[in-house]
Structure 1
Amino acid sequence: MAFGAQLRQCRQAAGLSLRQLAGRVGYDHSYLSQVERGQRPGSADLARLCDGELGTGDRLVETYRRTSTKARTGTPAMRTHSLETAWQQLTTALPDSVLLPQWPDQLDELRRLPAARRLPELVSRLSTLQTDRQAGHDARQAELSVWVAETLTACGRVGEARRWWWAARQLADGCGDTGLSSLVRSREATSGLSEGRALSELLPLADEALALALQEPLHPDHLLGARAVRARILAGLGRVVEAHEQLPEVLSYANELPSASTGAGQTPYEVHAVEGSVCASLGYWTAGCLMFARALELCPSERLEERALLELGMAECFAGGGQGPAALALALRVLIELPDEWHTTYVYGVAERVLAVVRSREPRLPGLHDLDRLLAAEAWGGRTVGSESSSGLGRE
């Protein structure tokens, strides 16, 4: 019996729904559905966790090992390449790029996977592009490289992420698409803010992103991203007047995106999140909180990390507005309720800002030690336990 069919049989025998089992093992229910239907192979980690929750001994682990071994021997072209192999393939192909950058959005589904499980999918797609080169693959590789870089950063592997940012810029520039080149630089600068890179290093990236975006005024989402990250960097550098000059432009370009939810650009909730981040960087705490709240209402429920970031953005606005107890309570709830596998450096970056602001204003406030302790745990280091797991936080 195939692993997916065995999993469905064991789950039904235990009387659990897909959502119940997904909550216990920390996986998205739609992913489990795809595994049960044979649309995804699953993983040894999933099999182990399901065995534990369903009381099936090692049955699912053994089934997965047996079926995955058959799959590997039967279809060698589909073997997962290592990250290093994908990097070598990518850099080898750089000089021979094909210049056609348009492609449909095929990466949205990856947002439903936590960072550690997203990485193998990205590597697999990169490897497929390398073995089956067609027109437009340079642009696809550029976007995949951005996702790899962001995912590595989310997992705390910042050093490795740097070279993937470099590759993304090289590939985007080689396509001759100024909008794509702008987008890559905006996302690198935004990621750099989260990982704590020097602002003086990030500002040239933001300047380049804006200059490139201005060459394509028909793409307001590129202008939005470039101006937003530039405003945040300028505010951090203390160049407040220049940062404030960006705010009307950010709001103006955001208003030009009424159909973003159906296009390849930013969705409405992402636009409001950008607005909230800019407002927060400029000290407009009430406006920022409202923007984050609006974004949270529109953000799909399955995007756990993004929802956590939006709530932490609200907590940062509470902290900046002098509502320390509310900020700590919200930040603690987010980190406690968010399954460990969804904890990332991006999440911790915002939570650390909340902690720093509250501590500077109310150093004896109850809850500071608890938040500090949670952040010190760095839960993205490898645990994969869902918040509803019957085994609690002790399982490794």
Structure 2
Amino acid sequence: MSTASGPTRIGVRIREQRRLAHLTQRQLAQRLPYSYSLLNQVECGAREASSSFVSAVAGALGIDITLLTDSEAVTSAQRDRLAAMVSPIRDALDRYDLPAGGVPGGAPLPQLVAEADAACRQVRATRLRAASRVLPTLITGLTREVQLRPRTDAWKALASVYRTAHDITVKVGYTDLAGVALDRMGWAAERASDPCLAAVRHYKRALVRQERRDLGTCLIEAGRSLLDGDTSKEALVVAGQLHLGAVVVAARAGDRAAVADHLGEAHSLADRVGGEAAEVHWLSFGHTNIALHALGARIRMRQWDEALVEARAIRLGSGTLTSRRARYLVDRAQVEMETGHTTAALQHLMEARRVAPEQTRHLPGTRVTVSGLVHTMRRPPEELAHLATWVGR
């Protein structure tokens, strides 16, 4: 979505909608009681659009005027649906320290643990709404369990569902609530006396605050210090994932040397782990995941030519998580778009939508790529118009 404001923003949106309608400026001007020159100046931001002009453009294009004047109104229905999905999770997080005596008896602990694992699997399969429906009950049930029978496995399961709450809320853009979920995860992990869980929390926190390199780096280092001297497979996987978190932080800062160093450390740990570790704290650590992070780093540092080579070299196996596959497809689409391969970019975006619609819609790269394609494709195809509407442009 365009970050322009005022007259420039309206001009940009008029241009986008005109191109989606397959009209040139002159063709649109012929439908308006205004000159071609005025339309041209409004689109480039040199002139402010009057309310009557915007109304006339909307009428000529056959669209709702809010598509040109109020980008927030376009996505209000989406926001309402997300708020309804997230609100019960927020309530469950708020009740973490309240007495659970009035809560009716729930499922036994083994069932709650199995359901917590199932919710995590649903998130990894990008079934966010399905996971969100069961999560509040799981949080409440496990909170009751640790209050009445505080055992290590109960605290671990509670930390796990808090982590799932983070994963859902951060994917749909509720970063403030994602931070609360991580605080709750840390609270439960401390009581579970599980350094690996605590380290995973530091990794997640670093990603949420990646724009602050000093803070992100401190969080990564704090996570690594928790694992000092532990050579178990679990610790090696978590340590490797912490290095990948450091890759994200360093790439955001444009530090290519640090990115290369952390990728090298991650590869060394992956060699020690052997194969892809998909079931260790649900991290999916291995050489494939490292390659995906390397691609993400290229994108953040705007190294488009190198990113294109790496994106086209990646081969995802049939067992690749749906969430990883969707993220790769969106990254690949952005790289193809930035290097001028617009048809390939659109194809990869459409495939990402097919594979994981819930996740793809909310990935920032989706909006960036859709916007770029609208501006660069000479005749935006109908599929792109549908995508633009779908993401709320």
Equivalent residue in structure 2 for 1:285, among 307, 311, 328: 307
Change (3 A) 1:89 1:311: same
1:311 matches 2:329: yes
One-letter amino acid of the structure 1 residue matched with residue 92 of structure 2: A
1:86 matches 2:102: no
Change (3 A) 1:299 1:217: same
Q: By how many angstroms is 1:251 displaced? A: 1.3
Change (3 A) 1:263 1:235: closer
Supply the RMSD in Å over aligned alpha carbons.
Answer: 3.8
SS of the residue 1:91 aligns to:
coil
Size of the alignment, in residue pairs? 279
Q: Deviations over 1:25-72 (max 9, x none)?
A: xxxxxxxxxxxxxxxxxxxxxxxxxxxxxxxxxxxxxxxxxxxxxxxx
Q: By how many angstroms is 1:148 displaced? A: 0.2
Q: Is the 1:209–1:226 contact (alpha carbons within 8 Å) kept by the matching residues of 2?
A: yes
Change (3 A) 1:138 1:294: same
1:220 matches 2:240: no
Aligned residue in 2 for 1:245: 261
Q: Is the 2:237–2:280 contact (alpha carbons within 8 Å) kept by the matching residues of 1?
A: no
TM-score, normalised on structure 2? 0.59
Q: Deviations over 1:291-341 (max 9, x none)?
A: 6x43354325xx3x4422122233344456x35325522343235535654
Q: Deviations over 1:91-126 (max 9, x none)?
A: 3479xxxxxxxx888245423462122112122211
Q: By how many angstroms is 1:222 displaced? A: 0.7
Q: By how many angstroms is 1:153 displaced? A: 1.9
Q: Is the 2:96–2:143 contact (alpha carbons within 8 Å) kept by the matching residues of 1?
A: yes
Aligned residue in 2 for 1:20: none
Q: Is the 1:328–1:367 contact (alpha carbons within 8 Å) kept by the matching residues of 2?
A: no
Q: Is the 2:220–2:246 contact (alpha carbons within 8 Å) kept by the matching residues of 1?
A: yes
Structure 2 CA distance, aligned partners of 1:353 and 1:271?
Answer: 27
Structure 2 CA distance, aligned partners of 1:368 and 1:117?
Answer: 34
Aligned residue in 2 for 1:211: 225
Aligned residue in 2 for 1:364: 376
Structure 1 CA distance, aligned partners of 2:191 and 2:285?
Answer: 31
1:257 matches 2:273: yes
One-letter amino acid of the structure 1 residue matched with residue 327 of structure 2: L
Structure 2 CA distance, aligned partners of 1:123 and 1:367?
Answer: 46
Q: Deviations over 1:266-311 (max 9, x none)?
A: 57686513332224414442564256x43354325xx3x4422122
Pairwise mapping of residues 80-159 of structure 1 onto structure 2 (< 5 A)? 82-92=88-98, 106-107=117-118, 108-111=120-123, 112=125, 114-133=127-146, 134=149, 135-136=151-152, 137-159=154-176
One-letter amino acid of the structure 1 residue matched with residue 333 of structure 2: A
Change (3 A) 1:313 1:268: same
Structure 2 CA distance, aligned partners of 1:366 and 1:191?
Answer: 37
Change (3 A) 1:93 1:183: farther
SS of the residue 1:295 aligns to:
coil
Structure 2 CA distance, aligned partners of 1:286 and 1:109?
Answer: 30
Equivalent residue in structure 2 for 1:298, among 293, 301, 319: 319
Structure 1 CA distance, aligned partners of 2:139 and 2:169?
Answer: 15
Change (3 A) 1:335 1:273: same
Change (3 A) 1:131 1:183: same
TM-score, normalised on structure 1? 0.58
Q: Is the 2:139–2:158 contact (alpha carbons within 8 Å) kept by the matching residues of 1?
A: yes
Structure 2 CA distance, aligned partners of 1:330 and 1:313?
Answer: 12
Change (3 A) 1:205 1:324: farther
SS of the residue 1:256 aligns to:
helix
One-letter amino acid of the structure 1 residue matched with residue 136 of structure 2: V
Change (3 A) 1:189 1:331: farther
Change (3 A) 1:342 1:253: same
Q: Is the 1:91–1:167 contact (alpha carbons within 8 Å) kept by the matching residues of 2?
A: no
1:334 matches 2:354: no
1:274 matches 2:274: no
Q: Is the 1:279–1:288 contact (alpha carbons within 8 Å) kept by the matching residues of 2?
A: yes
Structure 1 CA distance, aligned partners of 2:222 and 2:379?
Answer: 42
Q: By how many angstroms is 1:229 displaced? A: 1.3
Structure 2 CA distance, aligned partners of 1:184 and 1:169?
Answer: 6
Aligned residue in 2 for 1:351: 366
Change (3 A) 1:332 1:247: closer
Structure 1 CA distance, aligned partners of 2:340 and 2:97?
Answer: 49
Structure 2 CA distance, aligned partners of 1:208 and 1:275?
Answer: 25
Q: Deviations over 1:340-378 (max 9, x none)?
A: 544453xx223245468x67xx96344789769846744
One-letter amino acid of the structure 1 residue matched with residue 201 of structure 2: V
One-letter amino acid of the structure 2 residue matched with residue 307 of structure 1: R
Q: Is the 1:331–1:351 contact (alpha carbons within 8 Å) kept by the matching residues of 2?
A: no
Q: Which has the larger radius of gyration?
A: 2
Aligned residue in 2 for 1:41: none
Q: Is the 2:126–2:356 contact (alpha carbons within 8 Å) kept by the matching residues of 1?
A: no
